[in-house]
């Protein structure tokens, strides 16, 4: 895991190069994590589904590559590169990957 250094040095990564679809299902790579922030690259192989759930904090999803469907409070959102979704804390959401899918989860 990369982490913020004590002198707040920046971190640079190429998200497409880090995308990993070698294991079936979901792969999560922590990029930066500290007491206030968490940035992860999440990869889903084609056909993977994450059932409806909630998170105790606000999160965002920014699609890097691939395609799928994100369901937010019953509303379906098409996932494709460049799509950004903000999910308020405790909001029901789910997703499915029709293609191998990578997104930044913050």
Domain positions in the chain are 15-105
Residue 79 token pair: 């996932």
Question: Which tokens is 75 given?
Answer: 């509303």
Beta bridge partners of 43: 27, 102
Dihedral class, residue 61 (left if φ above 0, else alpha if ψ from -120 to 50, else beta): beta
pLDDT per residue as tens, the chain (106 positions): 444 434 456 888 999 999 999 999 999 999 998 888 899 999 999 999 999 999 999 999 999 999 999 999 999 999 999 999 999 999 999 999 999 999 999 9
CATH, range 15-105: 2.60.120.10
């Amino acid at each position: 895991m990369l982490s913020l250094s004590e002198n707040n040095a920046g971190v640079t990564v190429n998200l497409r190069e880090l995308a990993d679809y070698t294991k079936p299902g979901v792969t999560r790579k922590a990029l930066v994590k500290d007491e206030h922030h968490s940035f992860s690259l999440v990869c889903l192989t084609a056909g993977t589904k994450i059932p409806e759930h909630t998170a105790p904090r606000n999160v965002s999803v920014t699609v890097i590559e691939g395609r799928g469907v994100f369901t937010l409070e019953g509303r379906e959102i098409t996932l494709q590169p460049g799509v950004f979704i903000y999910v308020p804390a405790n909001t029901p959401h789910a997703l499915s990957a029709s293609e191998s899918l990578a997104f930044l989860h913050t």
